[in-house]
Structure formats: structure tokens, C-alpha cells
């Protein structure tokens, strides 16, 4: 009787262990390596860093490796799940959780600044009876861009912050003046405001250890109501990397317009401008004007949440292209 019980217990543990292993790998993606790939390059191709997921990968695929844990061409390997989630309260309750889905921007650092804020709403427009404020729409787009960049593995500093706005899906974004510069009250004087955000960026820049650090400044323009404009990209005079980034962003937007509005064309330009934030910030910087807040057609670019997200997505795509160019330099 005792012998039968021991055999039964052994079988129970065996099948129980098999069940647990099956459940732990259920739903995980699988793939075969390409010619010449080792574990490092195989994981990187699937947007997983070896430092974070190498050990888990070895555990999941125990017994499937060649000599010195080499990958075998005929073998299908289980890929670990990317479980990194970043919580950012500035995105608001609905969007505060961001899953890191890739390491495309791993090691990159971004300093994001939306124009104006605090006592200065920036340019103002009117959509029907509804007022529009530059700082509110620029801030929403910056938050969406920040979330995108974090999801790609980047480190992001949002220089201008509003603790209670978060990412908003409304057409008309209510105005308030409680934005801060990294927690500090934003001064009324324009030069003081510019100095405050430039100093904030430069202080962070000195602390961040990265070979790829970029400052992105987002504004909306104000021109005649009849003047529809495209997105314009500015860089500091003499900044080769700033110019390269601006060109890459402009090319990305051009390709998107050709795809989504092929008959319209895209007339956004790249040029140098003697703007204080471009001259004084230490990281490579690009200043972006997203459209005319006075023009009805440009206003549609801002009041529709899907369009605000599209702007953030296109900027993200261009940033990734620029990063791929410079990440090893």
C-alpha cells in the first residue's frame, strides 16, 4: 500500500509540474533564429534586451541549446513576455500605465517642452463659440508623445507639468494656469520663463548618462484665419544633428501626408531660427510649430483627439529614425 502511494504521489508531482510549466509558457511567442544569430541578437530582433530577459530566455528554453548556449537553426525558441510597465501620474488615471513594448529607444533621453503655460496661455483661437488655448493643446500632444517614447524604452523628462490635466480625449481642452516647471511656479516675465525651462533642461542634461539626448519643443502658431499652414521644424544655427533631426521629422510627416492626403501635398519646411531655447539648451534641440490655431482646417488637427494622437505617433516614428542613425555615434 505504501509503495502504491509513493508511485501515485510521484506521478501527481510529475503531471502537476508539467501542468505548471505548460501554463507558464502558454501564449508566449515563439520563433526560430536566423543564420548567425546568437541569443543577444535574437532577443534584440524581438525588442527584448539581453540584460533584462537573457536569464529568463535560458530558463524557458532549457535543453534546446547547442554548445555554450548557442542557438540551433531548426529549433523554435520561446520568447519571454515583456512585462515592464511604467506608471506616470501626469498622464492621468486612464492613461497612467504604459507598457514598454520595445527597446527601440533604450538608452535615449528626451526633454519635452510644450510652449507657454502657467500665467501665459500662448496663442488663442476660437472654434465656433469654443476658445482654444495653445498651451493646453500643446501639452496634450506632448503627453501623448511622452507616453509613446516611454513605450519604446526611452527615458522622458516632461519639463512643463500639470498635475491634474493628464491626457484628455475632449475636443475642447479647458484652460487653467496651474502648470509648473518641474514643480516650480512659472513666472510671468517671458525671459524669466524661458530661462527657467532652459535651466531645468540643462540641469537634467548634466546628470543623464546617455549618448543620445534630445530636446523637443512643441508650439502652435497664430496667423491670419485664412492662412492654413503645415508643420514647421526649426533647429539652432550650426547644429548639424539638430538639422538632421528636423529633416528626418519633416520627411516622416511628408510621407504620412502622401499616404493619408495624397492630393493635398505637404509644404512644411526645415530652417534654422535664432530662438532662445534652441540656442541655450545643451542637448540637441528641435522646435516644432504644429499649425495655425486661428485657421479652421488647422484647428481640426487639434480638436480631434485622434489627430492629436496621430501627431504624436508621427513625431515618434521620426524620432526613432533619427535615433537609429545616431545611437552608435
pLDDT tens digits along 64-93: 999 999 999 999 999 987 778 999 999 999
Summarize pLDDT for 294-303 with one digit per residue, the tens.
999 999 999 9
Place of cell 523628462: 157
* Alpha carbon distances (Å) from 124 to 29, 63, 136, 137, 301: 49, 65, 10, 11, 15
> Looking at residue 47, what is its pLDDT?
79
Buried b / exposed e along 39-62 (16+ C-beta atoms within 10 A):
beebbeebbbbeebbbebbeebbe
Q: Which of 314, 308, 9, 22 is nearest to 171 (CA)?
A: 308
> Looking at residue 328, what is its pLDDT?
55
pTM score: 0.80
Mean pLDDT of 239-249: 98
Buried b / exposed e along 238-251 (16+ C-beta atoms within 10 A):
ebebbbbbbbbbbe
- What is the pLDDT confidence band of residue 29, given thresholds at 50, 70 and 90? confident
Asked whether residue 308 carries a pLDDT value surpassing 50, the answer given is yes
Interatomic CA distance for residues 150 and 306, integer angstroms: 19
- What is the pLDDT confidence band of residue 225, given thresholds at 50, 70 and 90? confident
- The cell numbers describing 73, all together, are 537553426
> Looking at residue 295, what is its pLDDT?
95
Buried b / exposed e along 169-198 (16+ C-beta atoms within 10 A):
eeebbeeeeebbbbeeebbeeeeebeebbb
Cα 247 from chain centroid (whole Å):
19
Please report the domains of the chain, with CATH numbers, ordered by start residue.
2-78 (no CATH), 85-326 (3.40.630.40)
Contacts of 279 (CB under 8 A, 6+ apart): 236
Q: Which of 60, 112, 65 is nearest to 217 (CA)?
A: 112
Mean pLDDT of 195-219: 97
- The cell numbers describing 169, all together, are 480625449
Asked whether residue 22 carries a pLDDT value surpassing 90, the answer given is no
203 or 28, which is more confident?
203
- The cell numbers describing 164, all together, are 491634474
Report yes or no: 250 and 235 within 8 Å, Cβ to Cβ. Answer: no
Asked whether residue 207 carries a pLDDT value surpassing 90, the answer given is yes
Summarize pLDDT for 249-301 with one digit per residue, the tens.
999 999 999 998 888 889 999 999 999 999 999 999 999 999 999 999 999 99
Summarize pLDDT for 94-148 with one digit per residue, the tens.
999 999 988 889 889 999 999 999 999 999 999 999 999 999 999 999 999 999 9
- What is the pLDDT confidence band of residue 248, given thresholds at 50, 70 and 90? very high
Report yes or no: 281 and 212 within 8 Å, Cβ to Cβ. Answer: no
Interatomic CA distance for residues 74 and 245, integer angstroms: 41
Alpha helices for 82-189 (secondary structure H): 134-151
Asked whether residue 227 carries a pLDDT value surpassing 80, the answer given is yes
Asked whether residue 20 carries a pLDDT value surpassing 50, the answer given is no
> Looking at residue 49, what is its pLDDT?
82
Residue 264, Ramachandran bin (φ over 0: left; ψ between -120 and 50: alpha; else beta): alpha
> Looking at residue 1, what is its pLDDT?
52
- The cell numbers describing 317, all together, are 516614428
Find the range with the poorest average confidence among 12-21, 126-135, 200-209: 12-21
Report yes or no: 275 and 197 within 8 Å, Cβ to Cβ. Answer: no
- What is the pLDDT confidence band of residue 5, given thresholds at 50, 70 and 90? very low
| Dihedrals phi, psi of 34, to nearest 5 degrees | -90, 165
> Looking at residue 93, what is its pLDDT?
97
Place of cell 534586451: 49
Average pLDDT over all residues of the chain: 90
> Looking at residue 44, what is its pLDDT?
85
- Using alpha carbons only, what angle is made at residue 238 by residues 232 and 244, rounded to the nearest 5 degrees? 50
Asked whether residue 161 carries a pLDDT value surpassing 60, the answer given is yes
- The cell numbers describing 65, all together, are 541549446
Mean pLDDT of 203-231: 94
Amino acid at each position: 500500500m505504501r509503495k502504491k502511494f509513493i508511485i501515485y504521489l510521484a506521478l501527481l508531482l510529475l503531471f502537476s509540474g508539467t501542468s505548471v510549466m505548460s501554463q507558464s509558457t502558454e501564449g508566449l511567442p515563439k520563433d526560430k533564429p536566423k543564420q548567425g544569430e546568437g541569443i543577444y541578437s535574437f532577443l534584440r530582433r524581438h525588442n527584448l534586451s539581453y540584460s533584462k530577459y537573457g536569464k529568463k530566455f535560458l530558463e524557458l528554453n532549457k535543453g534546446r541549446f547547442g554548445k555554450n548556449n548557442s542557438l540551433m537553426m531548426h529549433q523554435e525558441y520561446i520568447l519571454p513576455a515583456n512585462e515592464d510597465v511604467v506608471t506616470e501620474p501626469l498622464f492621468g488615471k486612464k492613461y497612467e500605465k504604459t507598457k514598454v513594448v520595445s527597446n527601440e529607444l533604450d538608452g535615449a533621453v528626451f526633454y519635452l517642452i510644450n510652449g507657454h503655460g502657467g500665467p501665459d496661455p500662448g496663442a488663442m483661437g476660437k472654434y465656433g463659440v469654443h476658445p482654444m488655448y495653445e498651451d493646453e493643446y500643446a501639452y496634450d500632444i506632448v503627453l501623448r508623445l511622452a507616453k509613446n517614447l516611454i513605450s519604446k524604452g526611452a527615458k522622458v523628462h516632461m519639463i512643463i507639468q500639470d498635475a491634474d490635466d493628464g491626457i484628455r480625449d475632449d475636443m475642447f481642452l479647458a484652460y487653467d494656469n496651474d502648470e509648473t516647471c518641474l514643480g516650480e511656479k512659472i513666472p510671468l516675465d517671458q525671459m524669466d520663463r524661458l530661462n527657467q525651462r532652459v535651466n531645468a533642461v540643462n540641469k537634467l542634461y548634466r546628470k543623464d548618462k546617455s549618448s543620445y539626448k534630445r530636446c523637443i519643443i512643441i508650439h502652435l502658431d497664430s496667423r491670419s484665419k485664412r492662412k492654413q499652414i503645415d508643420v514647421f521644424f526649426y533647429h539652432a544655427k550650426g547644429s548639424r544633428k539638430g538639422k538632421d533631426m528636423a529633416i528626418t521629422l519633416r520627411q516622416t510627416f511628408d510621407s504620412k501626408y502622401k499616404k493619408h492626403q495624397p492630393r493635398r501635398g505637404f509644404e512644411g519646411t526645415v530652417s534654422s531660427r535664432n530662438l532662445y531655447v534652441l540656442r541655450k539648451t545643451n542637448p540637441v534641440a528641435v522646435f516644432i510649430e504644429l499649425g495655425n490655431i486661428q485657421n479652421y482646417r488647422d484647428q481640426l488637427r487639434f480638436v480631434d483627439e485622434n489627430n492629436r494622437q496621430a501627431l504624436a505617433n508621427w513625431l515618434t516614428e521620426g524620432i526613432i529614425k533619427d535615433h537609429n542613425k545616431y545611437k552608435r555615434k
